[in-house]
Amino acid sequence: MLSAGNIGVRNCVMSVIALWLLICILGTSPAFAQYYAWPESCSRKGGPDCQKLAKQNAKGPVLSVLEYGAKGDGKTDDSQAFLKAWTAACKDGTTIVIPQGSSFLVAPTNFTGPCSSKITLQITGEVLAPPDPSVWGELSTATWLLFSSVDSFTILGGGTIDGQGQSWWSKSCKRNRKNTCTKAPTALTLENCNDAVVQDLNFRNAQQMHLHFNFCNRVTASGITITAPGTSPNTDGIHVSNSTSVVIESCTIGTGDDCVSLSSGTSGLQIKNVTCGPGHGLSIGSLGKAGANDHVSDVLVDGATLVGTKNGLRIKTWQGGQGSVTNIQYQNVKMSNVDHPILINQYYCDSQIPCLNQTSAVKVSDVSYKNIQGTSSIAVAVEFACSDTVPCTGITLDNVDIQHGTSTRTKSFCESAKGTAVGTVTPTSCLQS
């Protein structure tokens, strides 16, 4: 005779067996697979990628672009498959997987919202731009992959976005002054987005800029690697405009232009632990072109390493502009063989035609440099070239030590620059009190 305890144990075992059989049966059904699917890159045995994906699966289905007709052979245009997957995911709020081991050729495409809820784009494979600029035809050449009006949006996965920009570079007027100066596409643009994350991605050889946040709020770019030749024209790494509460952290960037560039409308931005080189450094501007009224404020750079860059920490404005650059803090920055380690230039002129002298200027104020160390490739390591009529004010140098790569002593240059020096400062400060 079975005791009550034995009966309880038997029932428990039978329940476990029944549950196991149910899972096995459901696991082969399309409906179950839709909601609990693993991409080919993820083994059912587990691992960090599977654990992460499992958490996402609990919130909704995971859709692979392969299910929507993408070939992933690097030759077939997979744009329509990507758009179909986007439409489905945007409607239901889910994850789109671009799987590992495949290369997807995608023409210039706009992915628009708003979406019903949170959406994730998981790129573990490779996304390729058309190498031929003529593919853009009558389309705007400002963007390649554009995501607009999408909130609570995440792009991650460790995959690669390759702009294949070599043909665009050859047509640039920066390469050949006989070429007409035209705009080339930004590889990945997020526009009118809130609460967005771009994480653990590789960018390569963008046509022009690699990643652009425009009219975005509360966005983060982290763990990003950006690679392009030092001779590639205008290939800024991360560009930010008209955006607030932006964090750029733990990124490695090597390009032919600014590693990070900030333009008008940027405020409340933090750059943390970024490595830059080759490139043109960390830049604010250019601002004030053609009389524009531009503003950048409340920027913190805390932890950066610059190696062999053409500029270090740069603020650049055109003559004749209006507006302001204020409350900018640079701290804990290391440099090696940098051309212009610290530079404010209110006479910026990126033009084949000489710029005229003008009296109005973007006001630069309250800029601090703290714990800045390293070497300069030129003698003038600190340069503040400010407007005679709109001087730079409130500049602070605190524990700055920039030496020349040789035995030559470094120098400072100041024009209409007012501020103070605190602690040990090399080269000797030339700021007016």
In the chain, the number of structural domains is 2
- Pick the catalytic residue: 257, 258, 294, 366? 257
Q: Are 392 and 346 in contact (CB under 8 A)?
A: yes
Listed residue (337, 349, 364, 421) closest to 412, CA to CA? 421
CATH number for position 131: 2.160.20.10
Q: Are 314 and 347 in contact (CB under 8 A)?
A: no
- Whether 336 and 384 map to the same domain: the answer is yes
Residue 405: per-residue pLDDT? 77
- Whether 269 and 357 map to the same domain: the answer is yes
299 found inside a domain = yes
The answer for 245, left when phi > 0, alpha when psi is -120 to 50, beta otherwise, is left
- Whether 202 and 112 map to the same domain: the answer is yes
Cα dihedral 206, 208, 210, 215 sign:
negative
pLDDT tens-digit profile, the chain (433 residues): 434 444 443 444 444 444 444 334 334 333 323 322 333 333 332 334 433 443 443 346 899 999 999 999 999 999 999 999 999 999 998 999 999 999 999 999 999 999 999 999 999 999 999 999 999 999 999 999 999 999 999 999 999 999 999 999 999 999 988 888 889 999 999 999 999 999 999 999 999 999 999 999 999 999 999 999 999 999 999 999 999 999 999 999 999 999 999 999 999 999 999 999 999 999 999 999 999 999 999 999 999 999 999 999 999 999 999 999 999 999 999 999 999 999 999 999 998 889 999 999 999 999 999 999 999 999 999 999 999 999 999 999 999 999 997 778 999 999 999 999 999 999 999 999 9
Residue 119: per-residue pLDDT? 95
HSE-CB for 138 with a 13 A CA cutoff = 0
- Pick the catalytic residue: 280, 340, 366, 404? 280
- Whether 90 and 197 map to the same domain: the answer is yes
Residue 404 falls in the annotated catalytic set = no
How far apart (Å, rounded) are the C-alpha atoms in residues 197 and 186? Answer: 18
Residue 351: per-residue pLDDT? 87
Residue 60: per-residue pLDDT? 61
Domain that holds residue 183: 40-220
249 found inside a domain = no
Domain boundary among 220, 243, 272: 220
- Whether 178 and 306 map to the same domain: the answer is no
Residue 78 falls in the annotated catalytic set = no
